[in-house]
């Protein structure tokens, strides 16, 4: 995403908590900042993309509101923060309120589309916040995304992302289960996969991840443990609204077992590992 901003001609200052990750961007023309505060200093727009609620709060606000190295220390009134992270809607609303006290605006803008979409600049950006702030951010959003959708006030983008992650859970798990069935039946599964891509079963997961499932290879796209975190957000939101999500709960339990077995840093497609030892006819979980 940062590389696409550079390619789009945006002057860019970058900071990563793992500083070596800044090096390729620096070589491409980005300026490096030693702290989040230094990255925010003088910026009109500050974009974040972090792993979870705690990371966003630490980078943006610090351990307390007076943290000298947190981004808040460098943000001037009138700055706009665009948070591409996936966090709880309540966290986005809390952060927006804290920034508003300093005259700083905030959009929650989680993305979906995988590493493929990030590289291609074709992500879907799911936005919550004021329409005027969205228009101000639109050139940046269009540099990283192929589709920008506005769903309402702050927090609405995160709620839309929760819906997305429930769909991801079901589609990945269904593809993993179907690939396992075909392999058990001895079918030529790559040919089966290609044939199914033209029918009603076609999906992003079938197109982009079923091949990896068949090969038993799970390089990143998106970490399993982060998807499990996102499912937790969705399950909490569903519970608060009185809705049960039985499929999402089953996938969450599968992911818990895989994370406990040491696969949390593999791609979500590692759900296929759940079937490696084969649940029995009663659906019992395999030994991982």
Instruction: For residue range 79-90, list pLDDT tens digits in order.
Output: 999 999 999 999
Are residue 112 and residue 134 in the same domain, yes or no?
A: yes
Residue 67 lies in a domain: yes
Are residue 108 and residue 226 in the same domain, yes or no?
A: no
Are residue 97 and residue 123 in the same domain, yes or no?
A: yes
Boundary residue ending a domain (103, 134, 152): 152
- Could you list the active site residues? 161
User: How far apart are alpha carbons 268 and 205 in whole angstroms?
Assistant: 10
Domain hosting 119: range is: 2-152
Are residue 211 and residue 75 in the same domain, yes or no?
A: no
Residue 283 lies in a domain: no
Are residue 186 and residue 142 in the same domain, yes or no?
A: no
User: How far apart are alpha carbons 67 and 36 in whole angstroms?
Assistant: 11
pLDDT of residue 219: 87
Q: Looking at residue 46, which CATH number applies to its domain? A: 3.40.50.720
Are residue 110 and residue 170 in the same domain, yes or no?
A: no
Are residue 129 and residue 221 in the same domain, yes or no?
A: no
User: How far apart are alpha carbons 67 and 272 in whole angstroms?
Assistant: 43
Are residue 121 and residue 249 in the same domain, yes or no?
A: no
Q: Record the pTM.
A: 0.92
Q: Evaluate whether 267 touches 223 at the Cβ level (below 8 Å).
A: yes
pLDDT of residue 220: 83
User: How far apart are alpha carbons 170 and 201 in whole angstroms?
Assistant: 13
Residue 281 lies in a domain: no
Q: Looking at residue 251, which CATH number applies to its domain? A: 1.10.1040.10
Residue 287 lies in a domain: no
Residue 210 lies in a domain: yes
Residue 99 lies in a domain: yes
Q: What are phi and psi of 267, to 5 degrees?
A: -65, 155
Are residue 101 and residue 118 in the same domain, yes or no?
A: yes
pLDDT of residue 159: 98
Are residue 142 and residue 169 in the same domain, yes or no?
A: no
Boundary residue ending a domain (152, 183, 210): 152
Would you list the DSSP string of the chain? Answer: -HHHHHHTT---EE--SSGGGGHHHHHTTPEE-SSHHHHHTT-SEEEE--SSHHHHHHHHT-SSTT-SSSGGGGPPTT-EEEE-S---HHHHHHHHHHHHTTT-EEEE--EESHHHHHHHT-EEEEEBS-HHHHHHHHHHHHHHEEEEEE-SSTTHHHHHHHHHHHHHHHHHHHHHHHHHHHHHTT--HHHHHHHHTTSTT--HHHHHTHHHHHHT----SSBHHHHHHHHHHHHHHHHHTT---HHHHHHHHHHHHHHHTT-TTSBGGGGGGGGSS---TT-PPPP-
Domain count, the chain: 2
Are residue 6 and residue 144 in the same domain, yes or no?
A: yes
Region of 153 on the Ramachandran plot (φ > 0 left; ψ -120 to 50 alpha; else beta):
beta
Residue 285 lies in a domain: no
User: How far apart are alpha carbons 230 and 26 in whole angstroms?
Assistant: 31
User: How far apart are alpha carbons 248 and 150 in whole angstroms?
Assistant: 25
Q: Which stretches of the chain drop beneath a pLDDT of 50?
A: 280-282
Boundary residue ending a domain (124, 152, 180): 152
* Residues 204-256: tens digit of each pLDDT: 999 999 999 999 999 888 999 999 999 999 999 999 999 999 999 999 999 99
Are residue 115 and residue 15 in the same domain, yes or no?
A: yes
pLDDT of residue 281: 46
Residue 88 lies in a domain: yes
């Amino acid at each position: 995403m940062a590389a696409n901003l550079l390619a789009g001609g945006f002057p860019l200052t970058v900071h990563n908590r793992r500083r070596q990750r800044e090096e390729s961007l620096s070589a491409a023309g980005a300026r490096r900042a030693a702290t989040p505060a230094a990255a925010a200093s003088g910026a009109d727009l500050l974009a974040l993309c972090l792993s979870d609620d705690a990371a966003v709060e630490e980078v943006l606000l610090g351990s307390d509101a007076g943290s000298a190295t947190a981004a808040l220390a460098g943000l001037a009134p009138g700055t706009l923060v665009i948070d591409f992270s996936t966090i709880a809607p309540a966290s986005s609303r809390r952060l927006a309120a804290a920034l508003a006290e300093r005259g700083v605006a905030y959009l929650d803008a989680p993305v979906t589309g995988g590493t493929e979409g990030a590289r291609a600049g074709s992500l879907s950006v799911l936005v919550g916040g004021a329409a005027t702030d969205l228009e101000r951010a639109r050139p940046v959003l269009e540099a990283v995304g192929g589709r920008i959708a506005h769903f309402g006030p702050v927090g609405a983008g995160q709620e839309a992302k929760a819906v997305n992650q429930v769909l991801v859970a079901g589609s990945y798990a269904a593809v993993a289960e179907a690939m396992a069935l075909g392999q058990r039946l001895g079918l030529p599964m790559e040919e089966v996969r290609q044939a199914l891509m033209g029918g009603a079963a076609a999906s992003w997961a079938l197109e982009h991840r079923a091949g990896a499932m068949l090969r038993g290879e799970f390089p990143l796209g998106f970490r399993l443990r982060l998807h499990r975190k996102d499912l937790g957000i969705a399950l909490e939101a569903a519970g608060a609204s009185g809705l049960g999500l039985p499929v999402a709960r089953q996938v969450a339990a599968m992911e818990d077992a895989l994370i406990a077995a040491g696969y949390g840093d593999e791609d979500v497609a590692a759900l296929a590992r759940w079937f490696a030892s084969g649940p029995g006819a009663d659906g019992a979980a395999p030994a991982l």
